[in-house]
């Protein structure tokens, strides 16, 4: 599946560098140190692409030489919201690009009996409804957890067109579910894989991102 099938799905440019980074983090023999280092590089690229999608406004400034210059500034403030636990791995990449960025957290876990996502914990900035939100989760598989997280944001007054969902790897099934339900939300992904297996894992995939990143 190509990300071009959906207007609001933006996949990173598939450069030789990016393909090499993904080969490293997909390899089962990559140790934790290298997995974290190269995952962080990909996450930084995702955050930068997310920033590229934010609206800007013109602003007039003067340079140190006294010359006038017409530049641009972002129209509004942003915040990051990570889906615990794996989403927290993407917070530093956001901090590296945006100083003093506000962060929120949502904990969603799958109910063992129903196999459905269940909301356990929410902590968000009080003014989140006036911010652009970067929703952070490394994997978009079925879209269940991400959908529940988006519903929480919508209940807090955040508009769909102010949410960007950043993920390292996505499945075509998850993208379709997410796009059909939230057509105005932009999905920023590094790669789109072949699909989901019978256990709903993204394949060929890279394993459990949180386990490999935090080595637990």
Task: Give the residue ranges of DSSP H helices in 62-183.
Answer: 91-97, 144-155, 172-181
Rounded Cα–Cα distance for residues 214 and 190 (Å): 20
Which tokens hold the place of 58? 């013109």
Architecture of domain 3-57+74-214: 3-Layer(aba) Sandwich (3.40)
Q: Among this protein's residues, is 110 annotated catalytic? A: yes
Which DSSP symbol is given to 128? G
Kindly state the percentage of the chain with pLDDT values over 70.
95
Q: Is there a catalytic annotation at residue 114? A: yes
Confidence of residue 102 (pLDDT cuts 50, 70, 90): very high
Active-site annotation holder among 31, 110, 137, 212? 110
Query: Phi/psi of residue 96, each to 5°?
Result: -65, -25
pLDDT over threshold 70, residue 114: no
Q: Which one from 114, 126, 189, 197 is the annotated catalytic residue?
A: 114
DSSP label at residue 91: H
Query: Above 60 in pLDDT, residue 2?
Result: no
| pTM score, whole prediction | 0.92
Q: Which residues contact 132 (CB under 8 A, 6 or more apart)?
A: 54, 76, 77, 78, 79, 162, 163, 164
Q: Is residue 113 scored above 80 in pLDDT?
A: no
Per-residue b or e along 42-76, where b marks 16 or more CB atoms closer than 10 Å to that residue's CB: bbbbbbebbbeeeeeeeeeeeeeeeeeeeeeeeee
Q: Which has the closest alpha carbon to 134: 53, 68, 197, 211?
A: 53
Q: pLDDT by residue (tens digit) across 9-61?
A: 999 999 999 999 999 999 999 999 999 999 999 999 999 999 999 999 999 99
Q: What is the mean pLDDT of residues 109-136?
A: 87
Q: Strand, helix or coil at 87?
A: helix
The burial class, CB within 10 Å (0-12 / 13-18 / 19+), for 104 is buried
Q: What is the DSSP string of 13-64?
A: P--HHHHHHHHHHH-TT--HHHHHHHHHHHHHHHHHHHHHTS-EEEEEEE-T
Residue corresponding to tokens 């490394």:
138
* CB proximity list for 40: less than 8 A, separation 6 or greater: 92, 93
Is 140 exposed, middle or buried, given 0-12, 13-18 or 19+ CB atoms closer than 10 A? buried
- The full set of domain ranges for the chain reads 3-57+74-214
Structure tokens at 89: 């791995």
């Amino acid at each position: 599946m190509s990300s071009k099938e959906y207007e609001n799905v933006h996949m990173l440019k598939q450069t030789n560098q990016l393909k090499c980074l993904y080969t490293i983090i997909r390899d089962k023999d990559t140790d934790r140190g290298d997995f974290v280092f190269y995952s962080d590089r990909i996450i930084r690229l995702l955050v930068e692409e997310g920033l590229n999608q934010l609206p800007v406004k013109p602003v007039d400034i003067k340079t140190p030489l006294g010359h006038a210059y017409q530049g641009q500034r972002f129209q509004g403030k942003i915040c990051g919201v990570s889906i615990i636990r794996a989403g927290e791995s993407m917070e530093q990449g956001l901090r590296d690009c945006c100083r003093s960025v506000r962060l929120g957290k949502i904990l969603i876990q799958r109910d063992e009996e129903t196999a459905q996502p269940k909301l356990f914990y929410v902590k968000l900035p009080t003014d989140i409804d006036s911010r652009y939100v970067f929703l952070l989760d490394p994997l978009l598989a079925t879209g269940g957890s991400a959908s529940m997280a988006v519903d929480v944001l919508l209940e807090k007054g955040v508009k769909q067109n102010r949410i960007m969902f950043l993920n390292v790897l996505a499945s075509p099934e998850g993208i379709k579910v997410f796009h059909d339900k939230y057509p105005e939300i932009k999905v920023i992904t590094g790669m789109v894989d072949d699909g989901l297996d019978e256990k709903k894992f993204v394949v060929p995939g890279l394993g459990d991102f949180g386990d490999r990143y935090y080595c637990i």
